[in-house]
Structures are given as C-alpha cells and as structure tokens.
A = this chain, B = another copy of it.
Amino acid sequence: MSTKNLSLIFTKIPEAFPVPGEHLTVKDVGFDLSQPAPPNGLVLETLYVSFDPYLRGLLRDPKIPSYMPPFPLNGPVVAASLSKVLKSNDPAFREGDIVQDRLPVQQYNVWQPSESSPAKPRKIDPSAGPEDIRHYLGALGMPGLTAYSSLYEIGKPKKGETIVVTSAAGAVGQLVGQLAKHEGLKVLGSVGSDDKLEFITKELGFDGGWNYKKEKSTKDAINRLTDGKGIDIFYDNVGGEQLEGAFDTLNLFGRIVECGQISQYNLPPDQRYPIRNTFQTVAKRITMTGFMVGDANMGPKHFLEHQKNVGTWLKDGSFKAKIHEWQGMENAADAFVGMLKGENFGKAVLKVKV
C-alpha cells in the first residue's frame, strides 16, 4: 500500500540558477507506511527542511571535483531536516520524538545506521531551548554553529573593533551580528532590501548597514558608515564586489571570514566577479580564511558552548532569529531557488507537514 511521498529530485545539472521543474522537480516517490522500522532504525515523517546556500554546490557535474560529493542525478536533494518519529526500532527513540538529521527532502523517510553513516539522528529536546523547534535548523542548527565557531576562531573579535557582516539578515549573518554586538564591536550589515535593513538596525541592534542594491559600491558604503576609518573584520557570505570592497576598506591586520560567496555560485566561470585588489593583502597584512563547519576547530570544538549560549539567549529574548517559511512539499523547488536568489527574509525553512 503506497502513500503519496513528494520528494525534491535533482533532475538536471544547472549552469546558472536552477529552474523549478527543469533542474529540480517535485515527484511522488511513494512510501509504504505499513512497513515496520528496520533493525536499529526509524520511520520518520518530515516536519521542516532547511535550505542553505551550500546545497547549490551539490547540484553539479560529478566530473567537477570538490570536497562534498554531488547529489546523484535523478536522486533526491538531501538537506538538514526536523522529523517526527513514527516508528522506532532503537530504544533511544520513541514514537513522537523530534529528530534532526540530513535526509532526503521528502515527506517520509526510513532511517537506518550504515557503515558509511553510523551516527544516529540528533534528538531534539524542545524544553531545553526556545519553544520554536525551527531554530534547530537555524540559530541552533548548522547555520548557527557556522556563525558561532567561525566568528570566534577566524574573526577573533575584539571589543571596539568594527565588523561588516554580509547577507546580514540571513541565517548566519543574523547570528554573527548579534554575537559581535555581544562582544562589544561596532556592527554593520549589508542586505538586499530596505525591509531587511530596517530589521537588522531596529530589531537586531546593528549599528548601521546598507541595501547593496542601492549603493554605488561596497567601498563607498563602508567608507560612509565608518567615516573613512575602515573595518577590522569582514564576515563574507556573498563574495564578488562586496569582497572587493572589503580588501579596500579593511584596516591593518584585518580578517576576512570566508563563509560563502552566494553571489558567485550561480554564474559561469567567465562571468564571475573580477577582483583586482588582492594586493591589499600584503601592505595591510590581511588574513582571509575559508572553513567548513565540520572542521575540527569549528563546529566540533564549539558545539556545546554554542548550544548553551545561543539556546539561553534565544529563550530569554536577548537574541533574535528571524525565520522565513515556505509551506508544502509541492513548493520545495520554488523555495530552494528562492533561497538562492535571496528572496527569504531570515533563515530559509520549508514546512513540509502543513
């Protein structure tokens, strides 16, 4: 007996922005809801899925090498999800438990430990943190841990310094900015709309910011907002022209935290933004460092502290984390592409069980 099970399938390798229905297609892959949980495994119903920029890199030709394998063509997109346990064959989990794991983006999944992926899903205890469990995909999930670990490890924030956070209303940017305020920095943010600008300055407590769509250049914006004094940390989620502006405005011994370059991922190589001022690195002794949250000195090192601090601050209201929710698996491809285009205002989440 097959139940409908809508799944987000990778159907064609995109050259630029993926197109819903062409490169990403929602299909019914069916599910047998009468099946028991497998040995040491779970039957799961998906509640929410997290859409994050890094997923774009996995929609690629397998001939292009990189450090995460791409999704197989005609297989499902796999993303961080919150699911409800329907059936359990592992005493650590009970029916009704909420778990987080990277799983195929579809309504139902079977989970089972394997040699290549033996780690159990993470059980969420909603009583330990904020009420809204969606935060476990955002501020308390991978994006939050990304923000937390890299700001401290690479950014090395010092009281009195100035930081620029790009994509400042996004899942990572929101948290970086609030953490930097907490550490006593002057915090500026770049965003893609006036609404987002109002949000980061009025609600998140940023000291200033700009809508990059209305500026002549990042360099001009930073010079105006710092009275020409420049910045000490550039937290990069965007790349391209904004990164170029950073090289021009960073002060001596400035740090670039290279978290992502969303502006470049959907461009063919010859259309990527040409940066002509990396020579600033020498005279100004800039350090630019890339990382991934799974690196030993990142997520694994900071996880417990991140959970405790950010969980507490979200619960007591001193930190905020805005979430942008799309609804329904039938809209999964549109939501994915909308996230890549920055149409989300806050952490991008798809509510699967509507």
Which residues of chain A (79-104) have a CB below 8 Å from chain B? none
Q: CB-CB < 8 A to A277: which residues of B? A: 269, 272
Please tell me if A111 contacts chain B, counting CB pairs below 8 Å: no
Q: CB-CB < 8 A to A67: which residues of B? A: 252, 283-284
Residue of B nearest to A265 (CB): B279
Please tell me if A239 contacts chain B, counting CB pairs below 8 Å: yes
Which residues of chain A (174-193) have a CB below 8 Å from chain B? none
Q: CB-CB < 8 A to A290: which residues of B? A: 280-287
Question: CB-CB contacts of A248-278 with B at 8 A, as 1s and 0s?
Answer: 0000100000111100110001101111111
Residue of B nearest to A287 (CB): B289
Please tell me if A116 contacts chain B, counting CB pairs below 8 Å: no
Determine the distance from Cα of A272 to Cα of B265 in the docked complex, in whole angstroms: 23
Q: Is the CB of A270 within 8 A of B276?
A: yes
Number of copies: 2
- A residues adjacent to B (C-beta < 8 A): 57, 66-68, 239, 243, 252, 258-261, 264-265, 269-270, 272-292, 295
Contact of A278 among B239, B279, B285 (CB under 8 A): B239
Q: Is the CB of A287 within 8 A of B287?
A: yes
Determine the distance from Cα of A252 to Cα of B278 in the docked complex, in whole angstroms: 21
Q: CB-CB < 8 A to A285: which residues of B? A: 289-292, 295
Q: Is the CB of A278 within 8 A of B292?
A: no
Task: For the A-B complex with A269-B277, A275-B278, A286-B290 known, give 15 more contacts whose Cβ atoms are closer than 8 Å.
Answer: A57-B283, A67-B283, A239-B278, A258-B282, A258-B286, A260-B282, A281-B289, A283-B292, A285-B290, A285-B291, A285-B292, A286-B289, A287-B287, A287-B289, A287-B290
Q: CB-CB < 8 A to A284: which residues of B? A: 67, 290
